[in-house]
Amino acid sequence: MKNWQMPENLRWSFQHIADFLPTSVISRGQGLAVALPAAYRDLDSITVPGTEPDGEDSSVGSVMGATDTDGWMVLHRGRVLNEAYFGEMGANTSHLLMSVSKSLIGAVAGALADSGVLDPAKPLTAYVPELADTGYAEATVRDLLDMRSGIGFSENYLDPFAEVRMLEEAIGWAPPAAPGPVGLYPYLMTLRQKTAHGGAFEYRSCEADMLGWICEAASGESMPELMSRVLWGRIGAESDATIGIDQFGTGMFDGGINATLRDLARFGSLFLDGGRALNGERVLSEAWVGQTLEGAPDSREAFSNSPGDNRMPGGMYRNQMWFPYAGNDVVLCLGIHGQMIYINRPAKMVGVKLSSWPLPQDAAKLFATLRAFDSIAATLE
């Protein structure tokens, strides 16, 4: 367990989380899986432009081959144009999603907001009163959804003493370097405020973890039960998902969900049809999807003022989803080590890529993948 995040072990460990860490099942429910009819075509040979000033053009196939891909697929108007797996991964393999998990938690929050159970404008203390003595005391649900709280939290994955790594120690994902809080919720209670809530966007995994806690408190259900009821059991998934849990059974909301490639494509399709699944079932309201796509009046300003270099000029972050360009044609769900759901609304396309990059963050591989999916979308009608 100590070495599961070493680069040489990632391809195996990302596909076998339940073999060495405790997990809980997110049921797909009893309904029929949504069929994904095949309409295969050659996507590998599509040209992918290089980056200026001297980047050379490549192809979709070469990008996928050079970016530690475990599996990738493209869904266009509900039909599979491409589905490919590498190594031991297959269509039924559940793969760790890392921070793509955040977008699933954001969708759960959206479903609760749609039903009136959760109010994004309310303070967190309205749902978890014990947060009154923490750094989150004055923060709102909206601050969490858009990662705009003022909590001090380092997301430097290469720093063993960064808060993101201390969080992993608290939940049992890594051996503790020093005595500290045990469990996700006790750890979140130790975080302190650094700047004013509601300010600039700053990517922090703790925001999704706190959001998951708020969703559980508002609904009175554990996340596996809740996500099954409002999301996973309604999108026509063909497989159960799972979530890593801490010593007390609490889910690792920011990065612990595991799912298949095909079911992630089904989830991404929600944002092509105003919150309806491919089976026609209403999962999220048009209003929630609409305000996700439009953002707040200051969302892009908050994003540009981020202390981190997001390398997405004109973009924004809203409801636990990324918008890499100006406008809202393209929406992303992203996770470290190369996890991505790509949603291109004008092209009616969903692309999914699950990977095992040696490094947590790799801008060259991330943006090559983005350009590859953009290039595929440009060929579709």
Within its chain, how far is the Cα of 147 from the centroid? Answer: 13
Question: What are the start-end ranges of the H helices in 163-320?
Answer: 163-171, 184-188, 205-219, 223-227, 261-268, 286-294, 299-304
Q: Which amino acid is at 16?
A: H
Contacts of 292 (CB under 8 A, 6+ apart): 110, 271, 318, 319, 321
Q: How many C-alpha atoms does 360 have within 13 Å on its Cβ side?
A: 11
Residue 170 tokens read as: 């608290």
Q: Distance of CA 369 to CAs 69, 290, 374, Å? A: 10, 26, 9
Map tokens 């981020």 to a residue: 306
Handedness of CA 202, 198, 302, 298 (dihedral sign): positive
Encoded amino acid at 47, one letter: T
Q: Of 26, 191, 231, 236, whose CA–CA distance to 109 is shortest?
A: 231
Q: Round to whole Å and give the CA distance between 70 and 67.
A: 9
* Largest distance between two CA atoms of the chain: 57
Per the listing, tokens 């960064």 go with: 162
State whether the Cα torsion 107-261-257-321 is positive or negative. negative
Q: How many CA atoms lie within 13 A of 280 on its CB side?
A: 1
Give one DSSP letter per residue of 146-198, joined into a string. TT---B-----TT-TTSHHHHHHHHHTSS--SS----SHHHHHTT--B-S-TT
Dihedral, CA atoms, 26, 219, 268, 371, nearest 10 degrees? -100
Residues 184, 173 contacting (CB under 8 angstroms): no
Q: Which of 24, 58, 99, 219 is catalytic?
A: 99
- In the residue annotation, 59 being an active-site residue is answered as no
Residues classed as catalytic: 99
